[in-house]
Amino acid sequence: MSTIKKLQRKIKIDFKNEKILLQAITHKSFDPINNYENLEFLGDRVLGLVVSKKLYELYPNEKVGSLDKKLASLVNKNKCLEIGNSLNLKEFIITGNSKTRNNIVENKIISDCCEALIGAIYLDKGFEVSKSFILKLWKNLINDAETTFIDAKTQLQEYSLKNYKILPIYKLISNTGPRHKPNFKVGVKLKNSTYVYAIGSSKKNAEQSAASELLKKIKHK
């Protein structure tokens, strides 16, 4: 069975135009022209719209600032990586200068391909199918947002002040990607700890994601 057929079986969606799906899992190192980058751009917007609408429906009386924080906690590189890993996308992604998949697939590529996959589904099957796909995969994350996510930076700040009497230390590691799709990598640490890193579409989002990851690490000590 071909890679494309296996992926369609995995996501339970049959494509009319399989070339779009192939493009969604092709890295620019393999094909500089027909790769996932434009689909990633589209998928990011579709994902943001679907999750934003769901949050609007779930929290009609919520303040905009709180909704924005919930959205940032749900639509980011770390969550896309989590979903991408749940779909085992690493096994389908095409990288390098040959059709072999022995290349190391970085987490960022998995995250990007998750968004590109959403973009491909939207182009081939339309908004309703892509919406159903997103809500099915993000269902638990959205439910968890109600009970666990307030503001990761605030939670981490309170924890740090209570236990160490100082604020967490944030460090901007890099700012890469095109102007329309920047990627900020941020590290955060507490006193006597090592940095925990996360990526976001803005420095603010990256800091929130990094704080969230460090809080998870603290809880699992």
pLDDT digits (tens, 9 = 90+) for 41-63: 999 999 999 999 999 998 888 88
What distance lies between CA 108 and its chain's CA centroid? 9
Q: How far apart are CA 21 and CA 119, in angstroms?
A: 9
pLDDT greater than 60 at residue 147: no
d(CA 30, CA 9): 24
Cα angle at 59 between 113 and 205, to 5 degrees? 40
Lowest mean pLDDT among 7-21, 46-60, 92-106, 151-165: 92-106
Angle at which helix 203-219 crosses helix 152-164, to 10 degrees, equals 50
Which helix or strand (DSSP H or E) is residue 189 part of? Answer: strand 183-189
Q: Domains of the chain, with CATH numbers?
A: 3-148 (1.10.1520.10), 152-219 (3.30.160.20)
Which pLDDT belongs to residue 104? 58
- Supply the angle between the helices 127-148 and 107-125 in degrees, to the nearest 10: 130
pLDDT tier at 102 (50, 70, 90 boundaries)?
A: very low
Q: Is 76 left (phi over 0), alpha (psi -120 to 50) or beta?
A: beta
Q: Is the pLDDT of residue 99 over 50?
A: no
The pLDDT assigned to 13 comes to 96
pLDDT band at 150 (very low <50, low <70, confident <90, very high): low
Mean pLDDT of all residues belonging to the chain: 89
Positions annotated as catalytic residues are: 44, 115
Using a pLDDT cut of 70, give the percent of the chain over it. 93
The neighbour count for residue 218, using CB atoms within 10 Å, is 16
Which CA distances in Å does 27 have to 30, 31, 36, 90?
Answer: 6, 7, 6, 12
- Which residues, 6+ apart, have CB-to-CB distance to 56 below 8 Å? 67
